[in-house]
């Protein structure tokens, strides 16, 4: 065999008489590395057997907390269950190995999938057209507000420099609006969770570009006067932006387009079957009404008269806000979304929101019976709801953080805490559509025990978790004296 390294054979040291491929440079012949840079002592590598290494990593993997093993009331915000079939479809070699620069005639299969996904998402949202390219929710938001800006400017209306955003909004909303060059105006929420219409009306005018809303809102309740809000904003010449973060609550039931929204993004990684929450790739597809269609980010997929599919270019859409990713977006996430919708079908998709809302409302009622205080007791929950443990704080000093830490001892992931900031000592609980009643009942039983402990033995919560490899960490100290290198030394 004519091995390329054959010539170095003379100078090489092999670690085994059978090992012909792992020739190492001899110490006396270090190639072109300057002598003063060579190590004087051997590298301090761990010397463990393969079996020991295997056990070490297996043990580490068993410490993982995951939706595959335990309940995760953080919900679609972080990790709802994503059916395996979606991943299997995205992994098919015909998709996974396709080069992004493949000419369109040779990638009709992928283009068909993307085209269908565009059509389905447009139908599901009640919008006219969709672009799949934004690589995450925040990029989708930026694309959305950039389209609002482009729309006003295209009409010669350049005075609209304000974007209205409710106090309860996700933090990304004001960030996206600011990045797109808008001045952010906060609109307060009323004590019942709805938007303050008087404050809205006071700010509407010829300098307002639009409003960014999440519905149901981050307060876990449906904005009841959305039609009225849309009328007022439109009458003042503004547009409505829908943040798709809580789409899980209304999927297949209510369309943002029907509510009067002009533009929105969908977090395909949240709602449509891509594992996320660890900063992994996302997809923030944007959907728009007819009047914003010319401004959609490129490339979208279009069908020619012959039925052949191709990417749209700047020549087709000269008023597009441009391109947001090198190619057509995060294709793997888009393939999963397509497989998920295909698997569920139209009826199945609307069951997602029905069960998500049913599970949330069941938990809310049962936890209220235990004495937990709902932030909005008069309101029905959407797919999530907020409890406040201010009463426990007043009684024994127990905070939301302590409740969350104690949940870990029972093998349950903590829900979101301290968001939204409007509700003091809050827990934001989202069970999602895929949990059984048995799982929900166990969560309720654990929450009952934690409430008793909070009142009778608060120190048990204050020192939790007790049964995990790591106990209560000093998060304030960690943030004040940040030293990422310390862990390595």
Q: Given the rule CB under 8 A, which residues bind other proteins? A: 399, 417-418, 421, 424, 475-476, 479-480
Please, what is the minimum distance in Å from the beta carbon of residue 186 to other proteins?
10
Please, what is the minimum distance in Å from the beta carbon of residue 480 to other proteins?
5
Nearer to other proteins, 254 or 428 (CB): 428
Nearer to other proteins, 28 or 475 (CB): 475
DSSP secondary structure string for all residues of 140-157: HHHHHHHHHHHHHHHTT-
DSSP secondary structure string for all residues of 93-149: HHHHT--TTS-GGGGHHHHHHHHHHHHHHHHHHT-SEEE---SSHHHHHHHHHHHHH
Nearer to other proteins, 203 or 291 (CB): 203
Please, what is the minimum distance in Å from the beta carbon of residue 478 to other proteins?
9
Nearer to other proteins, 334 or 404 (CB): 404
Beta-carbon contacts of 426 under 8 Å, excluding residues fewer than 6 positions away, are: 375, 386, 387, 388, 389, 400, 417, 418, 419, 420
**Strands 24-25 and 12-13, sheet pairing:** antiparallel
Entry field: residues in the chain: 489
Please, what is the minimum distance in Å from the beta carbon of residue 90 to other proteins?
36
Nearer to other proteins, 305 or 483 (CB): 483
Nearest to 285 by CA among 120, 434, 108: 120
d(CA 414, CA 411): 9
DSSP secondary structure string for all residues of 383-410: S-EEEE-HHHHHHH---HHHHHHHHHHT
d(CA 66, CA 75): 12
Please, what is the minimum distance in Å from the beta carbon of residue 71 to other proteins?
24
Greatest alpha-carbon pair distance for the chain in Å reads 86
Nearest to 118 by CA among 105, 108, 127: 127
CB atoms within 10 A of CB 323: 14
Q: Is the dihedral of CA 34, 40, 45, 48 positive or negative?
A: positive
Specify which residues 323 forms β-bridges with: 298
> What token pair was written down for 433?
């559509």
Nearer to other proteins, 219 or 247 (CB): 219
Please, what is the minimum distance in Å from the beta carbon of residue 477 to other proteins?
9
Nearer to other proteins, 109 or 471 (CB): 471
3-state secondary structure of 263: strand
Please, what is the minimum distance in Å from the beta carbon of residue 464 to other proteins?
16
176 φ/ψ angles, rounded to the nearest 5 degrees: -65, -45
Nearer to other proteins, 326 or 473 (CB): 473
Nearer to other proteins, 154 or 190 (CB): 190
Please, what is the minimum distance in Å from the beta carbon of residue 389 to other proteins?
13
Nearer to other proteins, 475 or 483 (CB): 475
> What token pair was written down for 285?
């597809």
Nearer to other proteins, 309 or 404 (CB): 404
Please, what is the minimum distance in Å from the beta carbon of residue 108 to other proteins?
48
- Long-range interactions of 227-231: CB distance < 8 A, separation 24+: 227/259, 227/260, 228/197, 229/195, 229/197, 229/200, 229/260, 230/259, 230/260, 230/261, 231/260
Please, what is the minimum distance in Å from the beta carbon of residue 197 to other proteins?
21
Distances from the Cα of 208 to the Cα of 134, 185, 205, angstroms: 25, 9, 6
Please, what is the minimum distance in Å from the beta carbon of residue 76 to other proteins?
22
């Amino acid at each position: 065999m004519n091995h390329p390294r054959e010539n170095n054979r003379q100078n090489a040291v092999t670690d085994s008489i059978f090992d012909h491929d792992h020739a190492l440079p001899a110490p006396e012949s270090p190639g072109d590395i300057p002598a003063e840079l060579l190590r004087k002592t051997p590298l301090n590598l761990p010397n463990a057997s393969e079996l020991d290494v295997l056990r070490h990593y297996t043990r580490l993997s068993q410490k993982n907390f995951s939706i595959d093993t335990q309940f995760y009331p953080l919900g679609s915000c972080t990790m709802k269950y994503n059916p395996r079939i979606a991943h299997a479809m995205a992994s098919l070699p015909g998709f996974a190995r396709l080069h992004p620069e493949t000419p369109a005639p040779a990638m009709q299969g992928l283009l068909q999938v993307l085209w269908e996904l565009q059509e389905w998402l447009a139908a599901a949202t009640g919008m006219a057209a969709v672009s799949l390219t934004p690589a995450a929710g925040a990029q989708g938001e930026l694309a959305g507000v950039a389209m609002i800006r482009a729309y006003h400017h295209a009409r010669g209306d350049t005075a609209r420099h304000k974007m209205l955003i409710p106090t309860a909004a996700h933090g990304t909303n004001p960030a996206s609006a600011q990045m797109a060059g808008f001045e952010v105006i906060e609109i307060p929420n009323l004590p019942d969770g709805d938007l303050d219409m008087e404050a809205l009306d006071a700010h509407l005018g010829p300098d307002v570009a639009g409003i960014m809303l999440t519905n149901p809102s981050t307060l876990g309740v449906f904005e009841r006067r959305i039609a009225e809000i849309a009328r007022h904003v439109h009458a003042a010449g503004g547009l409505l932006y829908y943040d798709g973060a809580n789409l899980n609550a209304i999927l297949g039931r209510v369309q943002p387009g029907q509510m009067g929204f002009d533009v929105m993004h969908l977090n395909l990684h949240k709602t449509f079957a891509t594992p996320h929450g660890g900063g992994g790739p996302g997809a923030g597809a944007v959907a728009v009404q007819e009047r914003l269609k010319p401004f959609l980010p490129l490339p979208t997929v279009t069908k020619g008269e012959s039925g052949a599919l191709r990417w749209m270019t700047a020549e087709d859409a000269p008023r597009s806000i441009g391109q947001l990713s090198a190619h057509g977006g995060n294709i793997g996430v888009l393939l999963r979304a397509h497989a998920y919708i295909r698997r569920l079908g139209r009826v199945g998709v609307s069951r997602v929101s029905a069960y998500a809302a049913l599970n949330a409302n069941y938990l809310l009622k049962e936890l209220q019976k235990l004495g937990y205080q709902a932030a909005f007791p008069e309101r029905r929950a959407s797919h999530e709801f907020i409890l406040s443990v201010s009463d426990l704080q007043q009684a024994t000093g127990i905070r939301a953080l302590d409740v969350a830490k104690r949940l870990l001892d029972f093998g349950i992931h903590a829900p979101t805490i301290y968001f939204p900031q409007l509700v003091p000592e809050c827990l934001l609980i989202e069970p999602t559509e895929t949990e059984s009643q048995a799982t929900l009942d166990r969560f309720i039983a654990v929450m009952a025990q934690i409430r008793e402990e909070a009142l009778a033995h608060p120190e048990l919560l204050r020192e939790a978790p007790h049964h995990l490899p790591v106990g209560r960490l000093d998060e304030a100290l960690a943030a004040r004296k940040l030293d990422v290198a310390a862990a390595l030394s």
